[in-house]
DNA sequence: CTGCATCCACTTTGATACTG
DNA sequence: CAGTATCAAAGTGGATGCAG
């Protein structure tokens, strides 16, 4: 291309030998980390991402996916057996972003304030919040799995030997306890905990695991 | 004239009730977290920031500072005693970003590769790297302070009862050990460790604390 | 349908010049 | 020292087009 083009592309770089600067060059652009949030919760098709990220222009989504793929953070896969088409998933390097995403999400949660009208709660946010508030001490040596159903979405949390896995959709395998919360819009995590704590959730399965759930996922004292 | 657009469109809100989304709205714009990196290492005047962030347009720096101030993340203070003028510093909320910044920096460090010609190492990056690689176990109960001098910059690391503080500039109080490394350009953290480990650094003070330093700040095994 | 590409209005950025 | 002003270029948001 032309000289000015090369020069300006270079200006997307910060020209600093710094881990933070490199991270921001790779995933710091608009919508970048939100795409990664979705992919942390499950492999996604293009259309899943568009639905989970209302407001993202399709060309921007397209561009971000291309960049993430080139950077080795995400990969484009042919969807397995029953479906067909394309799915995007994180690579090992991409999954390495989880601690950073959780740390940002924890800080941002302190800045959230009250839910504004028109602000939706993405299902992936709930899956991530489960990881963000997880208390490993309370789950030491535990084996259990839960599925939360509300407002037409499902998410799961599985603890194997104290190790947590969460995601959007149904758990791989039967959940030990299904927690169903009636709602029109996706509720906040706080609202889910409250409903479960107050007995307003419909429980299916090992009901004794409700208390365990509340212990493992109690958010930090406010 | 479509003022109706201006409201919905130019708005940088993601319209999601999500900690990650809120964090990105507040500090996710270009240069935002790099400004915060500088302020994590020391209070800065406007000119300090311009010098530490070569390439940042002055109007963008101006805009970011205004946004950070409005968000309650940074504050504009009158410089104390000897100097005068303005300094910017993080608020309590701003300092809360440290875990997220460190997590991003740790991930980005794995993506750094070799230093490219023209890529500088900001002093604030070294101060942050000290925190990122700090090994609290190795420093349990320790009291010690170091100052690193190289290529015209200084940074310090102070451990009080095992608690770490680092920053750009001279330590508050006399450092127990000064580690001076000859260099024209600011070296990488790896290069500093290597020079210190190979006896190529000039030591002033309690030389026995060199081994302690290397133990406390050994980067994760590669 | 899915998975993008293209067009266009508008915004933000980057580079430079300038001021109290 | 601590910013503002200006302007071209790149990026974003929104709508639409279109092939498989």
Task: Output the 3-class SS for A130-178.
Answer: HHHHCCCCCCCCCEEEEEEEECCEEEEEEEECCEEEEEECCCCCCCCEE
Tokens coding A189: 């995590």
Instruction: Tell me how close the Cα of B210 comes to any Cα of chain A, in angstroms.
Output: 25
pLDDT of residue B84: 81
For residue B112, pLDDT over 90 is answered with yes
Look over chain B and give the mean of its residue pLDDT values, rounded to a whole number: 93
Q: Which parts of chain A register pLDDT below 50?
A: 1-10
Interface check A6 vs B, CB under 8 A? no
| A105:B23 CB<8 A | yes
Least confident interval from A25-39, B14-28, B73-87: B73-87
**Looking up tokens 């009080």, which residue turns up?**
B160
Tokens coding B11: 């708005």
Among B17, B51, B72, the residue to mutate for chain A (most A Cβ within 10 A): B17
Whether the CA torsion B116, B33, B99, B104 is positive or negative: it is: negative
B171-220: pLDDT as tens digits: 989 999 999 999 999 999 999 999 999 999 999 999 999 999 999 998 87
Q: Model confidence at B222, in pLDDT bands (50, 70, 90)?
A: low
pLDDT of residue A23: 98
The reported pTM is: 0.94
pLDDT of residue B7: 39
Contact residues on chain A for B120, CB-CB shorter than 8 A: 15-17
A143-182: pLDDT as tens digits: 999 999 999 999 999 999 999 999 999 988 999 999 999 9
| A107:B115 CB<8 A | no
For residue B4, pLDDT over 70 is answered with no
Residues B50-55, mean pLDDT to the nearest whole number: 95
């Amino acid at each position: 291309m032309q000289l000015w083009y090369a020069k300006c592309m270079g200006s997307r770089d910060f020209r600093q030998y710094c881990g933070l600067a490199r991270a921001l060059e790779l995933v710091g652009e608009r919508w970048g980390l939100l795409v990664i949030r979705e992919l942390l919760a499950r492999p996604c098709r293009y259309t899943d991402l568009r639905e989970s990220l209302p407001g993202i222009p399709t060309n921007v989504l397209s561009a971000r996916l291309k960049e993430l793929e080139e950077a080795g953070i995400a990969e484009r896969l042919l969807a397995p057996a029953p479906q067909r088409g394309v799915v995007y998933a994180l690579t090992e390097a991409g999954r390495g972003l989880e601690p950073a995403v959780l740390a940002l999400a924890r800080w941002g949660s302190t800045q959230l304030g009250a839910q504004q009208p028109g602000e939706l709660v993405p299902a992936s946010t709930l899956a991530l919040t489960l990881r963000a508030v997880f208390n490993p001490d309370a789950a030491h040596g535990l084996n259990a799995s839960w599925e939360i159903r509300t407002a037409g979405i499902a998410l799961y949390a599985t603890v194997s030997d104290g190790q947590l896995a969460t995601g959007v959709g149904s758990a791989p395998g039967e959940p030990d306890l299904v927690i169903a919360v009636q709602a029109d819009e996706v509720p906040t995590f706080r609202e889910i905990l409250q409903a479960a704590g107050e007995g307003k959730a419909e429980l299916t399965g090992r009901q004794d695991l409700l208390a365990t759930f509340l212990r493992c996922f109690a958010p930090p004292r406010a």
